[in-house]
Chain A
Amino acid sequence: QKEVEQDPGPLSVPEGAIVSLNCTYSNSAFQYFMWYRQYSRKGPELLMYTYSSGNKEDGRFTAQVDKSSKYISLFIRDSQPSDSATYLCFTSGTYKYIFGTGTRLKVLA
């Protein structure tokens, strides 16, 4: 079993839709959770970072962590064509840095 599982997509939504991206993880020792965004043929860049259970909001983006169920989510409100990218969840432990496989999102104008 992979330590982090992520729905690969692809996901196509109309502009303005609410997008939900999800990952599950297996190791309860993981404490830090991040979402990276990767545009085509570019390196990933940090989008959101959370530590504790609960929600963290930044503009149109909300990251949610539920440590009891080992579930992490990223919500995008009012999605835009510029949000079209691959979204990677990330978690880490002692000298372990683990990315999900990524969900490819396309927002249609």
Chain B
Amino acid sequence: IAGITQAPTSQILAAGRRMTLRCTQDMRHNAMYWYRQDLGLGLRLIHYSNTAGTTGKGEVPDGYSVSRANTDDFPLTLASAVPSQTSVYFCASSVLAGEDNEQFFGPGTRLTVL
């Protein structure tokens, strides 16, 4: 089934630990995105990638890094997790980068940092 998969589904993490959230799409979309969703704040863009080999910073990039080695995978890394990074993380993709493109979302990863 075509779409976006995210792993893990949920995770509890000790503060200071390193964590990588995985995202894979099989739709051959060029652009990919990482958002975090928090109550009262909605979805906020962390990082994006317009095409394989390129990445850019979104609204809330501090404490996160991404890489885009190929078209399908877009992992998000927390180098040293802090409790304020407790959130639901969504990966998304679109056929092309740009403001008029529908974004397709994965099921999300629920992360708790203690």
Partner of A97, one of B4, B41, B48, B107: B48
B99–A43 CB distance below 8 A: no
In the complex, residue of chain A having the shortest beta-carbon distance to the beta carbon of B4: A43
Chain A, residue nearest B43 (CB):
A99
Closest chain A residue to B38 by CB distance? A101
User: Looking at the complex, which one of B40, B42, B100 makes contact with A99 (CB distance below 8 Å)?
Assistant: B42
How distant is the Cα of A99 from the Cα of B42 in the complex, in angstroms? 7
Q: Are B108 and A43 in contact (CB under 8 A)?
A: yes
Chain B nearest Cβ from A103, distance in angstroms: 10
In the assembled complex, B77 has its CB within 8 A of some CB on chain A: no
Interface size on A, residues (CB 8 A): 26
B26 within 8 A of A: no
The answer to the question of A18 belonging to the interface, with a C-beta cut-off of 8 Å to chain B, is: no
A42 part of interface (Cβ distance < 8 Å): yes
Instruction: Check if B106 is an interface residue, CB within 8 A of chain A.
Output: yes
- The contact sample of 9 A-B pairs, CB cut-off 8 A, is A42-B107, A43-B90, A44-B105, A45-B105, A46-B104, A92-B99, A95-B48, A96-B99, A101-B41
Knowing that A42-B108, A95-B56, A102-B42 touch, tell me 4 more A-B residue pairs with CB under 8 angstroms. A44-B43, A51-B100, A88-B42, A99-B35
